[in-house]
């Protein structure tokens, strides 16, 4: 496992659309391991592959309820709304309120290639939506209602 460099806002890669993973090979498993380690080292609750410079549809999330790894994640159901503070490891020093669904169900593959569904409410719903946005080149600053703590 290795810590990877987290790309920061302004880096074009964060604005690109990631490609689906077609085969879960050793590179993808190493990517998952490295992403989890990089997220933890940075005290984040989620990380998407483009943030470490890989344009593949892979995310990791850990909101304190255990590590979730998802390959080719898709939101298949969303309900309600929440407006909560959000930040991003690629946008240091910025926190803003973003509207997200209160609950989502996300479908994807686990590291064994098995289809899984993850249901998340509150913080987990927010984190899943935030990370899936990264796979489409979308950052929370695109959706922010109000910045709360702007260092600039
Ligand atoms: Ni982010």
Mean pLDDT of 112-124: 98
Confidence of residue 132 (pLDDT cuts 50, 70, 90): very high
* pTM for this entry: 0.96
Topology of the domain covering 12-147: Peptide Deformylase (3.90.45)
Model confidence band, residue 1 (pLDDT cutoffs 50, 70, 90): confident
**64 φ/ψ sector (left φ>0, alpha ψ -120 to 50, else beta):** left
Dihedral (Cα; 145, 62, 38, 132), 10-degree rounding:
-50
Measured in Å, residue 114 CA sits from the centre of ligand 1 at: 26
Q: Report how far residue 121's alpha carbon sits from residue 16's, in angstroms, rounded to the nearest whole number.
A: 28
Cα(41) to centroid(ligand 1), Å: 15
CA 50 to ligand 1 centroid distance, Å: 10
Question: Of 41, 115, 131, 152, which is the active-site residue?
Answer: 131
Q: In the annotation, is 69 catalytic?
A: no
């Amino acid at each position: 496992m290795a810590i990877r460099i987290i790309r920061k806002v302004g880096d074009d890669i964060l604005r690109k659309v990631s490609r689906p993973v077609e085969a879960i090979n050793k590179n993808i498993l190493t990517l998952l391991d490295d992403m989890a380690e990089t997220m933890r080292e940075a005290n984040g609750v989620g990380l998407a592959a483009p943030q470490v410079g890989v344009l593949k549809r892979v995310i990791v999330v850990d909101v304190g309820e255990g590590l979730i790894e998802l390959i080719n994640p898709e939101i298949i159901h969303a309900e309600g709304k929440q407006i909560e503070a959000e930040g991003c490891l690629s946008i240091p020093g910025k926190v803003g309120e973003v509207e997200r669904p209160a609950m989502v169900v996300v479908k994807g593959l686990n590291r064994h290639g098995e289809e899984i569904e993850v249901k998340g409410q509150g913080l987990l719903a927010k984190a899943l939506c935030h990370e899936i946005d990264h796979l489409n080149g979308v950052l929370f600053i695109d959706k922010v209602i109000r910045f709360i703590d702007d260092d600039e």
